[in-house]
Chains A and B, each alone.
Chain A
Amino acid sequence: MVSLRKGTALDAAGAYAICRSGDAITIAIAGPVKSGKTTLISSIHQGFLFSPVRELKFKRSHTMVGFEEKCFNSRVESGADTPSTPRTSYSAGVEYYHLRVKDSKTSSSPHLVLLDMSGEYFDRAINSRQDALHLQCLRAVDFVSFLLDGAKLADATTMQKVYSDATLLLRRLLEEKIISRDSRVQMLVTKVDMLCKEPKTSEVEKVVGEVARRFERFGDQLHLEFHAVAASPAVGRPFPQRFGIPDLLRIWTENEKKAATRPGPLLIRSSRLIDRLPAVWLRDKYALVGGEK
């Protein structure tokens, strides 16, 4: 008997089946409730429905039904007045969306595995160490894409809360060693159409630069990258659909591995002269325990 895939979002076992080949790039879409996580995921899928996204061609997906479920409310057939996406429930746990693309530039065919979690996980993690442990799955992913709600950033009454929540969450994840200096953490300003009048590079860069300044304090602890997207721009805004998504896909698929931060020098625990010599002559590689001379 052949068991066919349901095509819905994958669970942990489904993600394992893809990741174990070694060709997978895992991306965790993180952010508080209503920051645009589901919209981002569904727009990535929608982008491939019309044409290749730059050099990337759609190859296959194990979660076509799942993607379509997410997209439905944004379509005319849904009968809704404005495009929207259903909220991921807390009880669903971690869901994985799969997409395999063919990169005509490099001839590689990486699997993209997108982790979707309810925003409640992140809201709770800010306040509780115990809840932060539910985010352990972020430790192993290639990218943590943390969403900052552009609509809230555009509103003076909510802007400060977006920054403080993001700061608290990053701090919590650092404390729990879920992310580190070796993690690739992307700060994505979503709904950037609410912050810029036009999709001009200079305007978008100005906004991104302003956001980046708010996170300068993490400079020593994290390598943060900043990008802006407008997955589903509001009606009447001069932004194209899925603004910024192709750039994001390019960064993910290129996924240039960088060397992990080298640990400190090797500690020598010996009182003998010959064993201690490396610590004297090659100080960048060896050190004596306790720094004794």
Chain B
Amino acid sequence: MHELFANWYSQVSPQMDSKRLDDRWKAVDAYGNALTTKKTTGVVLLASGIGDGKPTGDELRQAAKKVDTTYVSSDDALELKVLAAAVIARSLGVPSDQSDALALGYLCVSFSRKLLSQMHEDLHRLCLEYIVKEGIRIRDEGITFPPLNAKTTTELLKKQPEAPDGPTARLQMHEAVTQLLKSASEYADESSKSFARLHDLQREDSNVAFLVVSAYAFTTGEPFSEMTRAEAALIAAHELACVTKLTPVLVAHDAVLSALLKHTKGRKDLLSIREAVNGVKIEVQKRLIGTAAIVPEVMPCHFALQKAVEVNGKDVWNSAFATATGLNPDDEHPTLDLVRQAYLEGMLRTVLAS
């Protein structure tokens, strides 16, 4: 049983009944085991109390009934919410595609919503920890971004005076650096010790190079220093999402995004979704949307882009956005929070589409 489950469940039952608690956890366990990536969005929405909770609520109820036949199927909104939160917490214990989707989904859905309770605070924290730890763990286990160095980067950029679209450019970079890595390893000392040392150096090198590369937006073929924050916000998130897909590791996204924003013109510390979407030209908006499915309540930034593209970039999508997401597009957010949201949405869409 997750260490926080009893705390959360005490909202449902002020005086704890240990058998009932065990039974509910068994139901959480059973539901979590059968959970597919596609269903994770429903769990996230139920845990955050958004929407009517169907069909996830019914499924969780059935799982609870299987374990405890006395479970009453009415007036159980809070209980289902706590069970859904427990499904998320449980999944975060073991890394998987479902865990990635749940963690990313919960962080995304928390954006701009006041989910005021200790349970939401706990869950938000658990998801953030999961994302950060996973990034570190995967890279420590050897799945690393291919090493780049300044020379390679410069050469690549020279070769692309008119920058191709983001994914193509990255594939070319990937090929180039894979070749580089291959040749580097050929030159490397035969002994495992020196190779390990080289590998470590390459990894650090790649991280620094990653920051350097990030100063340039492949999506528009411009450096970030030429953009305002409103222009750069969604593009920066997209750029980092593209690199992350390639690595395929969630890097220290807050640090990188923060570095990107430092390059941009102006010092706009607060930004609304509306400003960010309208800051991007229609051609770029189309590139940023991609093809993966969009869940409005969970992916407000991408949904706003989608709506803007539907009306050909005109600023008339606000009411449709507010209705579908329950959010106000004019609400201002710290710029880094907004960019992080767009980035996490991008990652979530990738996980859900995989």
The answer on A and B forming one complex is: yes
For the complex formed, measure the closest distance between the CB of A177 and the CB atoms of chain B, giving whole angstroms: 10
**Scoring A residues 25 to 59 as 1 if CB is less than 8 Å from chain B, else 0, what string do you get?**
01000000000000000000000000000000000
Judging by beta carbons under 8 Å apart, are A19 and B11 in contact? yes
Residues of A within 8 A of B211 (CB): 274
A19 touches B78 (CB 8 A): yes
Contact of B251 among A21, A266, A274 (CB under 8 A): A274
Contacts of A237 in B (CB 8 A): none
CB–CB B207/A272 < 8 A:
yes
Is A235 located at the chain interface by the 8 A CB criterion? no
Q: In the complex, what distance in Å separates the CA atom of A277 from the CA atom of B7?
A: 34
Whether B67 sits at the interface, judged by CB under 8 Å, is no
Please report the C-alpha to C-alpha distance between residue A275 and residue B133 in the assembled complex, in whole angstroms. Answer: 10
A259-B121, A272-B207, A274-B252 are contacts. A282–B258 as well, Cβ < 8 Å? yes
Choice from B117, B203, B252 contacting A260 with Cβ under 8 Å: B117
Is B72 in contact with chain A by the CB < 8 A criterion?
A: yes
Which of A15, A20, A137, A282 is within 8 Å of B254, CB to CB? Answer: A282
B140 → chain A closest CB, angstroms: 8
Contacts of A275 in B (CB 8 A): 132, 135-136, 252
Query: How far does the alpha carbon of A269 sit from the alpha carbon of B137 in the complex, in Å?
Result: 10
A162 at the interface (CB under 8 A from B): no
Pick the contact of A12 from B7, B17, B121, B204 — CB < 8 Å? B17
Give complex CA distance A195, B203 in Å: 73
Give the docked Cα–Cα distance between A222 and B127 (Å). Answer: 28
Residues of B within 8 A of A281 (CB): 254-255, 258-259
Tell whether, in the assembled complex, residue B11 and residue A140 are in contact, meaning their CB atoms are under 8 Å apart: yes
Whether the Cβ atoms of B17 and A274 lie closer than 8 Å is no
Shortest A43–chain B CB gap in Å is: 22
Among residues 128 to 184 in chain B, which have CB atoms less than 8 Å away from a CB atom of chain A? 128-129, 132, 135-136, 139-140
A105, CB-defined interface residue at 8 Å: no
Asked if B78 contacts A21 (CB within 8 A), the reply is yes
Q: Mark A96-122, 1 if CB is under 8 A from B, else 0.
A: 100000000000000001010000000
Residue of A nearest to B210 (CB): A274
Q: With A259-B121, A260-B116, A260-B118 as known contacts, state yes or no: A141 contacts B14, CB within 8 Å.
A: yes
B328 to chain A minimum Cβ distance, whole angstroms, is: 19
A13 touches B121 (CB 8 A): no
Q: Are B116 and A258 in contact (CB under 8 A)?
A: yes
Question: A272-B203, A285-B254 are known contacts. Are A17 and B72 too (CB-CB below 8 A)?
Answer: yes
Bound CA–CA A183/B129 (angstroms): 25
Residue pair B136, A270 in contact (C-beta under 8 Å): yes
Interface centre among B20, B210, B251, B252 (most CB of A within 10 A): B252
A243-289 interface with B by 8 A CB criterion: 257-260, 262-263, 266, 268-270, 272-275, 277-278, 280-282, 285-286
Q: Flag whether B13 is at the interface (Cβ < 8 A).
A: yes
Q: Are B17 and A16 in contact (CB under 8 A)?
A: yes
- B208 CB–A CB distance under 8 Å: yes
Which of A16, A139, A266, A273 touches B207 (beta carbons < 8 Å)?
Answer: A273
Name the residue on B nearest A115 (C-beta). B14
Are A20 and B12 closer than 8 Å at their CB atoms?
yes
- Minimum CB distance partner of A256 in chain B: B116
Q: How far is the CB of A18 from chain B (nearest CB, A)?
A: 8
Asked if A12 contacts B14 (CB within 8 A), the reply is: yes
Q: Is the CB of B79 within 8 A of A26?
A: no
Distance of A278 Cα from B336 Cα, bound (Å): 12
Query: What string of 1s and 0s marks CB contacts (under 8 Å) between B8-44 and chain A?
Result: 0011111111001000000000000000000000000
Determine which of B10, B13, B129 lies in contact with A266 in the assembled complex, contact meaning CB atoms within 8 Å.
B129
List A contacts of B254 (CB < 8 A): 278, 281-282, 285-286
A20 touches B208 (CB 8 A): no
Q: Are B251 and A257 in contact (CB under 8 A)?
A: no
Q: A270-B136, A277-B252 are in contact. Are A263 and B117 (CB under 8 A)?
A: no
- The answer, yes or no, to whether B77 is at the interface (CB within 8 Å) is yes
- Is residue B66 within 8 Å, beta carbon to beta carbon, of the partner chain? no
A234 to B92, CA, bound (A): 59
The smallest beta-carbon distance between B246 and chain A, in angstroms, is 15
A259 and B116 form a contact (CB under 8 A): yes
Q: What 4 pairs between A and B have smallest CB-CB spacing?
A: A22-B78, A140-B10, A277-B255, A12-B15
Instruction: Please name 13 pairs of A and B residues whose Cβ atoms are closer than 8 Å in the assembled complex, sorted by A.
Output: A16-B12, A16-B15, A16-B17, A17-B75, A21-B75, A21-B78, A259-B114, A263-B121, A263-B125, A274-B211, A277-B259, A278-B254, A281-B258
Known: A94-B15, A266-B132. 4 other contacts (CB 8 A): A21-B76, A260-B116, A272-B207, A277-B256
Binding site for A on B (CB under 8 A): 7, 10-17, 20, 72, 75-79, 81, 114, 116-118, 120-121, 125, 128-129, 132, 135-136, 139-140, 203-204, 207-208, 210-211, 251-252, 254-256, 258-259, 336
